[in-house]
Structure 1
Amino acid sequence: MCKSFIKTIIFSIFMVIIGSSELYAQAPIKFEVSFKEPQAHYVEVQMEIKDVSKDYIDVKMPVWAPGSYLVREFSKNVEGFRAKTVSGGELGVQKMTKNTWRITTGKEKTVLVNYRVYAFEVSVRTSFVDASHAFLSPTGIFMYPDGQVKRPAEVTIKPFKTWSRVSTGLTPVDQKQFTYTATDFDVLFDSPIEVGNQDVFNFTAAGVNHEVAMYGGGNYDKERLSADMAKIVESATAVFGENPNEHYVFIVHNYQSGGGGLEHLNSTVLGASRFAYGTENGYKSFLSLVAHEYFHLWNIKRLRPVTLGPFDYDKENYTTDLWIGEGFTAYYDNLLVRRAGFYTEDAYLQLLASDIAAVENRPGNLVQPLSESSFDAWIKYYRQDENSVNSIVSYYNKGALMAMMMDLKILKATNGEKGLDDVMKAAYNEFYKKRAKGFTDQEFKSIAEKVAGISLDDVYEMVNSASSPDYNKYLQLVGAELSDLNKGYEIPDLGIKTTISDGKLTVQNVYRGSGAWEGGLNVKDELIGINGYRIDIAGKELERTIQASKIEDVVKILVARDGVLKELDIKLGTNKSGKYLIKFIDNPLPEQSKLKDKWLH
């Protein structure tokens, strides 16, 4: 037998071994999810791990949910973690860290894991189970073998006996009821699951089938929502020129008072107020929420900062670019609703004015740069306290305003030929489709400047400094003007926000630089008297006294602080809150009118 033939045989055997090894490593992790006691808010999970090759295996649960930048410690809800062999023999388990369990496997090749999860937190990012339904936020339900996030997974849902539906973006398995697959755990963790008797309807838009799963009832009109949500989908798809999904799921939780949303790869979870659909503002606000989370389908889920994927589920994943990921999306949510025909030009301008008010009436705007706000979301934005108004700025509101200014500047520079839409599309094509990677700060700036044909240093200077932008410098490019209706009025102000707590009028916030700040009023102080007179619980006497005073007058405030009475001398300052209005000017130049039409379509 010749040497070359022997080499060929050896190579073939080697390739078979390698191929078998790869196939061996790809055996899916299987989960079975059931609900023995939904009324007590528990989820039962069984996990099957095949192809175990070591004497032990570490099983982990994520500590956070992508899209919500806070370590939530999901493992705190886990109970009764046990491991056994296929034949039922118990295996040793040791808790190694807050979210890691080590299973001693011996020579067992297949390990079965059982645990329960307590799920009773209402939000779009946490799991909730009761007798009526189950919402499974995957990072708080499913565990993964350490180092094996890229293994495929299979999930079988066993609904409670009175439930009949499952809604999820996961791929269904043929001939297996309520069984779904995920190519890896990144996909599984990005696919929320609704189980119960939700009201489901469908519509097609941008060539994609969309499922809407409504829980909690409400006065929504399915036909109207189908038509109007389709318009939002078409408006968003038009920005990028393509829709990357074949199937998309909206999971909508309707509560007495609900809100918020969380984006996923081919689905989203929305919180809504069940009877707000019947009001014009409530309905349009819901459409804006739909637009926001749907726009994330591209921006964040595919076009993303480099550190946001692949994810480290054990700890924070930092980026300075949430002002792009969330702020730009917050800009587009109302803009898409306007483009779809639901907001008038004036109504849209007032939404922009509301963003300006949210930024400018917050002292933290002059303390925290926008890029720092993004980076510190994990410890500041998602953990706000009584002083947050003085120390941080929202990367949603201010990021949206950066997007607006960048959009208008590019429109001006290109004579209306290009705008922020073109930047987003170019970045999506470059980083997601061509290079399959996230972008760095400089890479996004470079591609934006390439599209614009000009420098965007002025925008990035505003991002990296704590300052108030010159909004009119950009708004005037499209014939719009911002004004402060409070400008010129000298209104005396104490500098606090109050609340009623346990039947007492107390200080909720003290604003930086105000008389209360300088004079030593504290959050949680109970307000008892002013200038020798008792303050009523509604605070009307306090309000009337301040209004009747002059700026720089000194008022005597009697407070109870931790049971101790104190009288403080507070010098009144000027109310610095702005009341903002944006309007188009009466006689715009032809160029301004042209750019305005390009901007608002």
Structure 2
Amino acid sequence: MFNKKSILSLVLLLTCIMAAKAQVKIGFEVSFKEPQAHYAEVQMNISGLAKDYVDVKMPVWTPGSYLVREFEKSVEEFKATAAGKAVKVEKVRKNTWRVFSAKAANIQINYRVYAFEISVRTPFIDESHAFLSPTGIFMHPDGMIKSPSTVKIIPFNTWSKVSTGLTPVAGEQFTYKATDFDILYDSPIEVGNQDIFEFTASGVRHEVAMYGGGNYDKEKLKVDMAKIVEKETAVYGENPNKYYLFIVHNFLKGGGGLEHLNSTTLGATRNAYNTAEGYKGFLGLVAHEYHHLWNVKRLRPVALGPFDYDNENYTTNLWVAEGFTSYYENKYLHRAGFTDVNEFLKDLAGGVGTVLNTPGAKYQSAASSSYDAWIIGYRPNENSKNNSISYYNKGEVIGILMDLEIINATKGAKSLDDVMKAMYLQCKTLKRGYTDAEFKAMVEKISGISFTNFWTKYVNGVDDVDYVKYFAYAGVDVSTENATPGKPVTGAAVQLGTRGLEVTSVTRNSAAWISGLNVNDVIVLIDGSSLSDVLKNVKLKEPKFSLDILPAITDKKIGDQLTVKVIRDGLEKEISLSLKENPSVRLKATVNENATPAQKAVLKKWTGV
């Protein structure tokens, strides 16, 4: 039993511990001696942590990209001093360095990071700029994820700008602070001579940092990006930021994006802004990644935060986190006026078609796809399309069906928007992520009907999507036709190499699959004709292509035989294929002119226009 003296002692002890923690300071300096060789020089300073040794750790993955990337593999020349003297360093785990500091009050750690992988999730440095993806640059003392830190950037002598969502330290150029390492790891940094412009939307200042040039129109982007921000904020009723940063990397051919708490990094094609398809693609990427400001970063599965940076973080709900965001990407483009209803329906029908035409959709559920992102989603192989489905694609289709089911059940009073907003507020109130059961419960609460069968069929199951039924709720007719009517196919993809046509993939249950044509087989003859004859007058856009585009196949009929001679493991083998009809379908969705008032009400609520 505690007495007053014991309680006082405990209070004093806790006060001392908190004071000790408050005295610990962690700071980084990042400079660039050899950017042309793709290196960053990192200095980490720790003071006030008097221990026999200190373990510092680098994350092995980055939130939002579900793959253990082993960032520590790019660290070189790790060394340390304590109280100004060189001390022993020992690597005790793949991503952990132990510094024997002998209770010194001040520790300085220096290391270099090689950064030469272009993506939105990995650091990249060359003579023109540095993109610092923080999980691949910075380290934290073990057990001190919640500790604050500062970062000072020393740009290379030809660079003049730094863009980041981190909070600037007043009076110190290019110096920033993070309240904890979760914030630091979630705040990419662009260093160089990027083109910067701003706009304000939903009361939030937005900065766009463009690297790599391009034919973009800044004034047009300011207006159009603001429209997307306004439409997205309207769904959730509030925008949680005062400032938001878009880092845009423009390349010859770019794509992809990665969300962060108050910023995003986008990959774009520098000379596609002046084409209708390219511009729509960029705005779609903006809509997708900005929606993650709520869905994923705040409205999130319970497993995605607080993060374990040493190991995989498993969840069955990426179909909501990413799939629904893909669905909303189309909704926001339509609501902001960038697509009409026909294009909106075309985009959604295309999404349904992708799932229907992926053989793996019959073998992997949306929940399983989410859970297996770490071993399949980010590590696809030649057979992935046959045994798996993307949680982006399946989740988008689930979003379409769920939205229509809710709207129809409530006679146009509620939609998936209401579920997303309610779940966002729930996560905000509870200060934690949601479980799958909680998400389902909210869907049922908003809709007023049971979704148990829906979950069984579409979330945890692999049932065929009953798209005709759901689109009909909104008075939309969906017709289906063969993608290439009357045309025979082999189901094999190839790439042209020095030895011949190397098979790169084989579609499940296709002619190639049934006949035993294998990935890595090298095709040297087709129906006795050499490749030079087979490829004569064929214009290839890419080195990888479908075998079915060749006249040797297109000139045949369904059911005809095709003989190919291949080299497999140095041995010749002749394979006969019985050509089949293409199983892929194409969907066309159109609004029924004779739709009932109830259907029209659903359509109006669905589109939000």
TM-score, length-normalised on structure 1? Answer: 0.95
Deviation at 1:526? 2.0
The separation in 1 between residues aligned to 2:484 and 2:382, in whole angstroms, is 30
Tell me the equivalent position of 1:257.
253
Q: Match of 1:434, as an amino acid? A: T
Deviation at 1:485? 2.4
The separation in 1 between residues aligned to 2:222 and 2:9, in whole angstroms, is 57
The separation in 2 between residues aligned to 1:502 and 1:144, in whole angstroms, is 48
Counterpart check, 1:442 vs 2:437: yes
Identify the range of structure 1 (468-477 vs 578-587) with the bigger mean alpha-carbon deviation.
Answer: 578-587
Tell me the equivalent position of 1:302.
298
Decide whether the 8 Å contact of 1:262 with 1:269 is kept in 2: yes
Counterpart check, 1:455 vs 2:455: no
Relative to structure 1, the CA distance from residue 343 to residue 487 in structure 2 (aligned partners, 3 Å threshold; closer, same or farther) is: closer
Structure 1 SS opposite 2:353:
helix
The separation in 2 between residues aligned to 1:252 and 1:487, in whole angstroms, is 36
Decide whether the 8 Å contact of 2:483 with 2:582 is kept in 1: no
Relative to structure 1, the CA distance from residue 55 to residue 162 in structure 2 (aligned partners, 3 Å threshold; closer, same or farther) is: same
Structure 1 SS opposite 2:87:
strand
Relative to structure 1, the CA distance from residue 503 to residue 488 in structure 2 (aligned partners, 3 Å threshold; closer, same or farther) is: closer
The Cα offsets for residues 336-392 of structure 1, whole Å up to 9 and x where unpaired, read as 011000011111111112212221111111111111100000010101111111111
Q: Match of 2:412, as an amino acid? A: G
Tell me the equivalent position of 2:207.
211
Structure 2 SS opposite 1:382:
coil
Counterpart check, 1:59 vs 2:59: no
Decide whether the 8 Å contact of 1:505 with 1:537 is kept in 2: no
Decide whether the 8 Å contact of 1:503 with 1:537 is kept in 2: no
Relative to structure 1, the CA distance from residue 502 to residue 29 in structure 2 (aligned partners, 3 Å threshold; closer, same or farther) is: farther
Q: Match of 2:571, as an amino acid? A: V
Decide whether the 8 Å contact of 2:562 with 2:578 is kept in 1: yes
One of 402, 405, 408 as aligned partner of 1:409: 405
Deviation at 1:487? 7.7
- Which structure 2 residues correspond to residues 230-309 of structure 1 after superposition, within 5 A? 230-309=226-305
Q: Match of 1:80, as an amino acid? A: E
Decide whether the 8 Å contact of 2:484 with 2:582 is kept in 1: no
The Cα offsets for residues 270-291 of structure 1, whole Å up to 9 and x where unpaired, read as 0000011010111111001000
Q: Match of 2:172, as an amino acid? A: K
Structure 2 SS opposite 1:301:
coil
Structure 2 SS opposite 1:518:
helix
- Which structure 2 residues correspond to residues 181-580 of structure 1 after superposition, within 5 A? 181-431=177-427, 433-461=428-456, 462-486=458-482, 489-502=485-498, 504-535=500-531, 536=533, 538=535, 543-580=550-587
Give the RMSD, CA atoms, in angstroms: 1.9
The separation in 2 between residues aligned to 1:86 and 1:212, in whole angstroms, is 42
Tell me the equivalent position of 2:81.
84
Decide whether the 8 Å contact of 2:121 with 2:133 is kept in 1: yes
Tell me the equivalent position of 1:73.
70
One of 135, 141, 165 as aligned partner of 1:139: 135
The separation in 1 between residues aligned to 2:429 and 2:64, in whole angstroms, is 24
Q: Match of 1:561, as an amino acid? A: R
* Unaligned segments of structure 1, at least 5 residues: 1-5
Tell me the equivalent position of 1:3.
none
Structure 2 SS opposite 1:449:
helix
The separation in 2 between residues aligned to 1:533 and 1:488, in whole angstroms, is 25
Q: Match of 2:600, as an amino acid? A: S
The separation in 1 between residues aligned to 2:431 and 2:9, in whole angstroms, is 34
Decide whether the 8 Å contact of 1:405 with 1:459 is kept in 2: no
Deviation at 1:490? 4.6
Decide whether the 8 Å contact of 1:402 with 1:459 is kept in 2: no
Counterpart check, 1:179 vs 2:175: yes
- Which structure 2 residues correspond to residues 138-177 of structure 1 after superposition, within 5 A? 138-177=134-173
Deviation at 1:587? 1.4
Tell me the equivalent position of 2:589.
582
Tell me the equivalent position of 1:38.
35
Q: Match of 2:62, as an amino acid? A: A
Relative to structure 1, the CA distance from residue 45 to residue 487 in structure 2 (aligned partners, 3 Å threshold; closer, same or farther) is: closer
Q: Match of 1:439, as an amino acid? A: Y
The separation in 2 between residues aligned to 1:474 and 1:28, in whole angstroms, is 57
Relative to structure 1, the CA distance from residue 567 to residue 340 in structure 2 (aligned partners, 3 Å threshold; closer, same or farther) is: same
Structure 2 SS opposite 1:579:
strand
Q: Match of 1:451, as an amino acid? A: I
Deviation at 1:12? 6.9
Decide whether the 8 Å contact of 2:489 with 2:579 is kept in 1: yes
One of 116, 126, 129 as aligned partner of 2:112: 116
The separation in 1 between residues aligned to 2:414 and 2:470, in whole angstroms, is 16
Identify the range of structure 1 (301-310 vs 485-494) with the bigger mean alpha-carbon deviation.
Answer: 485-494
The separation in 1 between residues aligned to 2:397 and 2:83, in whole angstroms, is 58
* Unaligned segments of structure 2, at least 5 residues: 539-546
The separation in 1 between residues aligned to 2:255 and 2:483, in whole angstroms, is 33
The separation in 1 between residues aligned to 2:448 and 2:44, in whole angstroms, is 54
Identify the range of structure 1 (497-506 vs 153-162) with the bigger mean alpha-carbon deviation.
Answer: 497-506
Decide whether the 8 Å contact of 1:504 with 1:537 is kept in 2: no
The separation in 1 between residues aligned to 2:507 and 2:52, in whole angstroms, is 59
Q: Match of 2:33, as an amino acid? A: K
Percent identity between matched residues is: 54
Identify the range of structure 1 (567-576 vs 167-176) with the bigger mean alpha-carbon deviation.
Answer: 567-576
Q: Match of 2:521, as an amino acid? A: D
Structure 2 SS opposite 1:180:
strand
Structure 1 SS opposite 2:407:
helix
TM-score, length-normalised on structure 2? Answer: 0.94
Q: Match of 2:341, as an amino acid? A: E
Decide whether the 8 Å contact of 1:232 with 1:340 is kept in 2: yes
Q: Match of 1:456, as an amino acid? A: F
The separation in 2 between residues aligned to 1:100 and 1:561, in whole angstroms, is 44
The separation in 1 between residues aligned to 2:484 and 2:82, in whole angstroms, is 77
Deviation at 1:548? 4.1
Decide whether the 8 Å contact of 2:483 with 2:584 is kept in 1: no
How many residues end up aligned between the 2 structures?
Answer: 593
The separation in 2 between residues aligned to 1:90 and 1:546, in whole angstroms, is 70
Structure 2 SS opposite 1:176:
coil
Decide whether the 8 Å contact of 2:383 with 2:505 is kept in 1: yes
Q: Match of 1:600, as an amino acid? A: T
The separation in 1 between residues aligned to 2:469 and 2:353, in whole angstroms, is 17
Deviation at 1:14? 6.3
Deviation at 1:40? 0.9
The Cα offsets for residues 374-411 of structure 1, whole Å up to 9 and x where unpaired, read as 00000101011111111110110110110011001111
Structure 2 SS opposite 1:70:
coil
